[in-house]
Amino acid sequence: MGTMSPSARIEGSLPEDDCVATGEKCGLTTKLTYRQRFLSALHCRPVDYPPVWLMRQAGRVLPEYRALKEKHSFLEMVQSPTLAAEVTLQPIRRFGFDAAILFSDILVISEALGQGYNFRDGGGIQMDFAIESAADIDRLDARRVTDHLSYVSQTLSILRRELGEERALIGFAGSPWTLANFMLEGGSTREFTKAKALFYENPALFNRLAEILTTAVIEFLKLQIQAGADAVQVFDSLGGLLADNVFEPASCRWIRTIVASLEKQAPVIVFSKGTHGNWDALVGTGANVLGLDWTVNMARVSRELPETVGLQGNLDPAVLQTTPEVAARETGRILAEMRNRPGHIFNLGHGVPPGAKLENIESMIHTIRKTA
C-alpha cells in the first residue's frame, strides 16, 4: 500500500460542505474535526451533528475490497499490516466516515490462544479443533496473545499515521461469551448450544474458560490502545442467546471486568445484540457508550438510561438494501428521535449487509450532515 498524501487521507466522495463542521448549531465556536466530533460524542459532550461510522463498513460491499479479495484471502489481509490498513481506509476514502474501525476478526484472539481457524469452502468458520474438555481449555495460553497479535499493533500504527488528527480510530474485540460460543462449537453453526450447556452444567469449567478469554481480551485491547486506537468496542454479538436471568453471570460480568481493567485508558463501546432486558447491567459495565440493535426504539431506551452514557445505532441494516429515499427517510427518523440526546453516535443496528448499495450509504451520510 502506498503512502497517501494528507489530502487523500481525509477526503471522502461527499461534497465538502457535507464533510466539514461549523459547530454553529450546537453553540461551538470552532470547527470540529471528525475525530473531535467522535470523541466528544463518546463523552456525551455537545456536537454539531452525530458522528457516523458503520459496523462492517470495510469489506465485501466495496468494489475496491473485492478487487483485493481476488488476490488475497481474508486471513492474509487480516494478518498483513499493510493490507489490513488499506482495507480499513477504503471506506474512509469513499464515504468520509468520522471514524475508521480496524479491519480484523474477533477470532484472532482464539488463534492467539492456540485455537486456529479458517473459512469453509461453503461458507462459515471452522476452528482447528473444538473445545470439549478441561484439557482443551488448559491448552489455551493467554501469555502469548500480545506477541502473537503484534501484526495488529503494526496495522494500527500505520492507520494512526495515515488518519492523523482528522479521523478517529476504533479497535475492537469479541466478548468472552461470544468467543466461547465459537470455540466450543468448533466454528460457526446454525444454532449455538454448547456454551449454554457448559454454563448450566459445569459453571466452574465455563468460568475457567471465560477467565482465560477475559485476560486475553484485556491484553488485546490494551495493545490496540497503546498502538493508537482512540476507542475500543466490545462485540457481544451473541449476548441475545442468553436468558435474561443469566446474562449477568455468563456475559456481562466479564465485560465489566474488561472495562474496569482498561482503567479509562480509552473510551469503551459495548454492543450486546439482543439483550434488551439488561440495560441496567450494561450501564453497570462502565462503558462510555452502549450499542443498540435495530429491534428497539432508540428514543425510548435513551429516556430510560442516564445521559452520561452514550448510545450508538440503530438503523436497520436492511434499509441499505432499498433506495436512497428510504435510507434518507429512516435516517432522518432516528435523527429526529435523538435530536436532544447527548452522546448519540449514528450507526447500524448490526453490520453492513452484503447487499447494501453504495448510493444508500451515501444518502444516509448526506442526511446526517445536512440535517444537523
Residue 12 domain flag: no
In a shared domain, residues 225 and 300: no
Tell me the pairing of strands 268-272 and 117-119.
Answer: unpaired
Show which of 286, 307, 329 is a domain's final residue: 286
What's the CA dihedral at 185, 252, 308, 291 to 10 degrees? Answer: 20
Asked whether 68 and 83 are in contact (CB, 8 A), the reply is yes
Q: Any residues with CB less than 8 A from the CB of 143 and at least 6 apart, and which? A: none
In a shared domain, residues 218 and 351: no
All residue ranges of the chain with pLDDT < 70 are 1-30, 371-372
Read off the CATH number of the domain in which 279 is found: 3.20.20.210
Give the number of domains in the chain: 2
Cell of 44: 456525551
Query: DSSP 3-state helix, strand, coil percentages of the chain (rounded to 5)?
Result: 50, 10, 40
Residue 28 is predicted with a pLDDT of: 55
Residue 199 domain flag: yes
In a shared domain, residues 248 and 335: no
In a shared domain, residues 108 and 189: yes
Residue 136 domain flag: yes
Residue 263 is predicted with a pLDDT of: 87
Helices (H), 30-133: 34-42, 63-69, 74-79, 81-95, 108-113
Residue 262 domain flag: yes
Q: Any residues with CB less than 8 A from the CB of 333 and at least 6 apart, and which? A: none
What's the CA dihedral at 260, 109, 95, 8 to 10 degrees? Answer: 100
| Structural domain boundaries, residue 352 | 22-67+92-103+292-372
Of 235, 234, 259, 236, give the one whose Cα is nearest residue 247: 236
In a shared domain, residues 262 and 314: no
What secondary structure does DSSP assign to 54-77, as a single string? -TT-SSTTSHHHHHHHTTS-HHHH
